[in-house]
Structure 1
Amino acid sequence: MKIFLLGYMGSGKSYIGKRLSDKLGYDFLDMDNQIEEKEGKSISEIFDKKGEVYFRKLERRTLEELIQREEPAVISLGGGTPCYGDNMELIKNASDITSFYLKLNITNLTDRLDKEKEHRPMISHLEDREKLEEFIRKHLFERGFYYNQSNHVISCDEKSAKEIIEEISEKLG
């Protein structure tokens, strides 16, 4: 079985994924890290030098490889991965994948992302907290349709990592 963690940037996909994989004894794979290793560049550099279209094609190929993987794993997807092309359909139609949307409200996402803007190419240009919140609000409105198609939606507001991992474990049975 493969467990895919979906959600907006800053929702904790990598943080939760690492700890969940330890608990389950599965490998942990971060899609962004996989792409960076293949390209020998950071996600920011790929966006800057080759553009978003190139990145999304690379992301799609990486998603296909992760879906075809036979070994059990916890896999953290990029925040936009489910929202492009038919990526979400691929995920939903795979028989050995269970997907979880790690859902956070706009205030909590803004709090988290405001601290790490310079490391996030999609938001590094936003001058202040108000513009960041507006950006997140717009994106969540657009992406919510895809995220909510996950097998499970985990509301992560006011929960510790331990509680989130426990809730995921319970849903896995």
Structure 2
Amino acid sequence: MKIILTGYMGSGKTAVGMELATQTHLNYLDLDDEISRREMKTISKIFEDSGEIYFRKRESEVLKELLEQENNFILSLGGGTPCYGKNLQEIKNTQNATTIYLKTSLAELTQRLIKEREQRPLIQHLGSREILEDFIRKHLFERSFYYSQSDVIVNTDEKSIPVIVEEIIAALN
């Protein structure tokens, strides 16, 4: 079984993925971490040095390699991963893969991401809460088509990580 977590940045993919891996005894992988390891640079540095187009190309290559692995795992995608190139189709064509969308409201995402701007290359330049909220709103509108094609949708607002993980496990059984 390959469990693929998708959702906007700040939706909890990493934290939920790590806890889900603990509960299910599956290996946990984070696509951004995997790209960073292979490039020997942070995601911010990859964006700075090579730009988003290079990053998205590399992201697709690494995703494809991971999906072709025989072993089972939990994989947290980057927020934009399913929206670029053929990534969503690659995921959907992967045998024994289940996609789970961690659906988080605009208000909740804004609240979480305003505190994390400096660590997020796509939003670190956004100066105010209002500008950040507009940016997220636009992305959610564009990306919801891709996210909503997930096999399972879990609303995350006002839920703890253990509760979200419990809902995912119940949906998988």
Q: Same fold (TM over 0.5)?
A: yes
SS at structure 2 position matched to 1:41: coil
Alignment correspondent of 1:25: 25
2:126 corresponds to 1:129: no
Residue correspondences, number: 173
Alignment correspondent of 1:44: 44
Alignment correspondent of 2:166: 166
Could you list the per-position Cα deviations for residues 33-67 of structure 1 after superposition, in whole angstroms to 9, with x for gaps in the alignment?
00000001000110110011110110001110111
Alignment correspondent of 1:95: 95
SS at structure 2 position matched to 1:3: strand
Alignment correspondent of 1:63: 63
Partner Cα separation in structure 2 for residue 12 and residue 70 of structure 1: 26
Gaps of 5+ in 1: none
Q: TM-score, normalised by structure 2?
A: 0.98
RMSD: 0.6
Alignment correspondent of 2:120: 120
Partner Cα separation in structure 1 for residue 92 and residue 68 of structure 2: 13
SS at structure 2 position matched to 1:35: helix
4+ residue segments displaced more than 4 Å: none
Gaps of 5+ in 2: none
Alignment correspondent of 1:11: 11
Aligned sequence identity (%): 53
86-95 or 38-47, larger mean C-alpha shift: 86-95
Partner AA of 1:171 in structure 2:
A
Partner AA of 2:49 in structure 1:
K
SS at structure 1 position matched to 2:19: helix
Per-residue deviation, 1:150: 0.6
